[in-house]
Amino acid sequence: MADEYSKAPYNRDVGIPDDYNWQSLKSKRGAALEVHYVGLLHELGLKKGMLGQIFTKAQNKIQDPAKLYRLIVMIDGQQWVSDVSADVKGKIYEGLLEKNAEDTKSGAGQYFTPRALIKAMVACMQPEPNRTIADPACGTGGFFLAAYDFLKENHPLDTKQKDFLKHGTFFGNEIVANTRRLCLMNMFLHNIGEIDGDSMVSPNDALVADNGARYDYVLANPPFGKKSSMTFTNEEGEQEKDSLTYNRQDFWATTSNKQVNFVQHIRTMLKSTGRAAVVVPDNVLFEGGAGEIVRKKLMENTDLHTILRLPTGIFYAHGVKANVLFFDNREAGKDPWTKETWYYDYRTNVHHTLKKKPMTFEHLQDFVACYHPQNRHQRKATWQETENPEGRWRKYSYEELIARDKTSLDLFWLKDKSLSDLDNLPEPDILAAEIIENIEAGLNSFREVLNGLSENE
């Protein structure tokens, strides 16, 4: 695509030296091609902007030069810029990413948020044109692309708005080079940014410092795994991990819990009128110490208005019990900004598996309707103690939540039917998957306890 942009009718300087352009790849065969390709990956990885970021730490995994040449010929036979629309290219690439995430051995799934969930979160947030959108752990860019599609489909954009959408809307961080590459290619194939322009995705760890930038929206699913750590080699030559604790003056509490730190960081990233939707594991809702401090401060300084309880069996990483927090930032004030928090329980008696019964956007449409994005102050509860005890949508007042032990936001009210209705249990494979999820979640908790004990020795 960069090669096509360098020719008529575009005639753009895409920043690729002649010695390492597409034509240089086409002109070689055999061992010479393999040697040249390795050199090309290294050289392009040194370039500035989006191009250099895409090629950073890229490695040749194609050991057979004949296959490499065949691949080059196949790619060369297609007009990528003009023949294939950005929508089609983007959909093809997203499909490849999803297939890649399904390969559990590669670990790619940990960077992949279910697209149905992302779409529902964006549908609730309803981003508007000429607003900035950030994700401090953007993975392969799922939130950016869903927001991009929403803006294109729901707003007739003028020329200035289209230009802002392409160049000034999206900002992210992704510390894993391979994942950042996938994200940048995903954005470029969706026509976001320029191959010769600045990269919108930083390789820096977002938690290390506040870079001062403030955004209108933050949509994120920070990485699972409770602790940030750095690997080092000790005096005996053994590898050890040391927990990273981020000491930041803008944080309410100092902790090595990565998710709690991301919640604090995301609040810092927001403009005073900014809004956030963030996927967090259950421990963020109930953990004591720093977790309790952050929950109290979040309810005081922002309007934490909605919590979606997610089912198991929807993430490629096993043992994850997660939720979505929706909160709006506010100017500093005397009284807590959170007056009430609405809960939607989409976990109790909900059964999904990745293969046989994956969660779709349709499954979350009732939540979006209850969220009432047009005017969330006109919400109506579906739960009623006597008339509809099965209702999944209800609210709790600030006073009720703050009075709970450790200000725990880990709330459920529906009865688990599998405990009483033995005649209508889920299918055996779904039951087995849920048992595995629960065991994995338990194992993860025990690992955290063990890590904590070994750190304190």
Do the Cβ atoms of 66 and 197 come closer than 8 Å? no
Specify the range with the lowest mean pLDDT, choosing from 161-175, 269-283, 304-318. 304-318
Strands 201-202 and 215-220: what pairing? unpaired
Q: What percent of the chain has pLDDT over 70?
A: 89
C-alpha–C-alpha distance, residues 157 and 432, integer Å? 48
Tell me the pLDDT tens digit for each residue of 226-242. 555 444 444 555 544 55
Q: Which residues pair with 341 in a beta bridge?
A: 396
Reported as a single tens digit per residue, the pLDDT across 334-391 is: 999 999 999 999 999 998 887 888 899 999 999 999 999 999 999 999 999 889 999 9
- Tokens coding 322: 């997660």
Which residues make beta-bridge pairs with 399?
none
Higher pLDDT, 312 or 19: 19
Structure tokens at 227: 């602790």
Give the model confidence (pLDDT) of 66-107 as tens digits: 999 999 999 999 888 877 787 788 888 888 888 887 765 555
pLDDT of residue 289 exceeding 50: yes
Question: Please, what are the domains in the chain?
Answer: 2-83 (1.20.1260.30), 87-455 (3.40.50.150)
Side chain identity, residue 301? N
Summarised one tens digit per residue, pLDDT across range 425-437 is 667 777 777 777 7
Pick left, alpha or beta for residue 358 (phi over 0 → left; psi -120 to 50 → alpha; otherwise beta).
Answer: beta
Residue owning tokens 């979606």: 308
- How far is the C-alpha of 418 from the C-alpha of 422, rounded, in Å? 6
Strand order in the sheet with 270-281: 201-202, 170-173, 133-135, 215-220, 270-281, 322-329, 302-309, 340-345, 393-397
Give the angle subtended at the CA of 391 by the CAs of 388 and 392, to the nearest 5°. 170
C-alpha angle 278-283-286 in degrees, rounded to nearest 5: 105
pLDDT-derived band at 279 (thresholds 50, 70, 90) equals very high
Mean pLDDT over each residue of the chain, to the nearest integer? 88
Residue 383 to residue 55: CA distance in whole angstroms = 52
| Cα–Cα nearest to 277, from 291, 290, 287, 263 | 263
pLDDT in tens, 144-164: 999 999 999 999 999 999 999
Distance separating alpha carbons of residues 223 and 206, to the nearest angstrom: 12
Continuous segment of H or E residues that includes residue 284:
helix 283-286
Kindly state the helix (H) or strand (E) to which residue 36 belongs, with its residue range.
helix 30-45
Strands 393-397 and 340-345: antiparallel
Over 60: is that where the pLDDT of 52 sits? yes
Q: Please give the angle made by the CA atoms of 142, 176 and 113, to the nearest 5 degrees.
A: 25
- Which H or E run includes 49? helix 49-55
